Amino acid sequence: MGLNWHPSDDLLADYGAGTLAEGWSLAMASHLAMCPDCRAAAIALDAIGGAALDSLPAVPMTDSALDYALSAIQDARQQQPEPPRPASPNAVLPPPLADYVGGDVDAIKWRSIGGKVRQCILPTTDGKASARLLTIPPGTAVPEHTHSGQEIILVLQGSVVDGDAVYGPGDVQQADADVTHMPAAGPGDVCICLLVTDGPLKFTGLLPKLAGLFAKL
């Protein structure tokens, strides 16, 4: 069965071009491992980009053009993300995340941030976006907030309910400064999700104690 919520085409294109920050790239690779539709879309976007290059008019070449082109190809190969392996049917974490933590959820070193909410901050080398895994008990809501930057939530287990929208495993929720919301872990399994942000949350509600649990997200 297909997923219901997917990243934007811009994110897919930037991922294929290798221009995303590490945290965003990790989220995209993880979603692609869980979503055959987006894997197909990513292949199509790459083909469109190749066709666009082929349509450019020819220009005279300098003597150093070949060396420059070979160097650019080598750089592109180093930056191009590897095609994500599909997720294993019995695993909670898709392969890109499992590679990061060295195994599935039982390998994660969780730390409590209160209220039975736990997190594991994932190290990134570029410092442009923070990435963390969260476990949130069913029914627990993140206090109402907006954003100082971009945010992606990738659901790995359980569900996230936000208004009328329900995000299940593999679904992606994107939000920015134009979005004010109060997502909550849905009923059933404990919600496990990957959260990537490039700026702290900005809390707008009147729940200071609960907001304190999420103040560093």
In order of their start, the domains of the chain are: 9-79 (1.10.10.1320), 95-213 (2.60.120.10)
Q: Are 153 and 160 in contact (CB under 8 A)?
A: yes
Q: Is residue 205 over pLDDT 80? A: no
Give the full edge-to-edge strand order of the sheet including 111-114.
111-114, 117-122, 130-136, 191-197, 151-157, 172-175
Under the banding of pLDDT at 50, 70 and 90, the label for residue 142 is confident
Report the range of poorest mean pLDDT among 21-35, 53-67, 170-184, 196-210: 53-67
Section 57-85 average pLDDT: 54
Q: What average pLDDT does the structure give for the chain?
A: 81
Question: Which tops the pLDDT comparison, 178 or 90?
Answer: 178
For residue 179, what are its two tokens?
A: 């979005």
pLDDT of residue 203: 79
Name the nearest CA neighbour of 139 among 210, 190, 179, 214.
190
CA pair distance 154, 196, nearest whole angstrom: 9
Please provide the distance, in angstroms rounded to a whole number, between the alpha carbons at the two ends of the chain.
32
Query: Cα 157–197–176 angle (5° rounding)?
Result: 100
pLDDT over 50 at 79, yes or no:
no
Share of the chain above pLDDT 70, in %: 72
Please give the average per-residue pLDDT across 94-119, as a whole number: 90
Lowest model confidence (mean pLDDT) among 16-20, 143-147, 162-166: 143-147
pLDDT of residue 103: 92
* Predicted local distance difference test score (pLDDT) of residue 207: 54
Span 159-180, average pLDDT: 94
Q: What's residue 68's pLDDT?
A: 53
Residue 113 has pLDDT above 50, yes or no: yes
Does residue 199 surpass a pLDDT of 70? yes
CB atoms within 10 A of CB 195: 22
Confidence of residue 65 (pLDDT cuts 50, 70, 90): low
Angle 88-141-1 (CA atoms, 0-180°, nearest 5)? 30
The token pair at 30 is 């993880």
Q: Which pLDDT score, from 0 to 100, does residue 52 have?
A: 42
Q: What is the mean pLDDT of residues 27-38?
A: 93
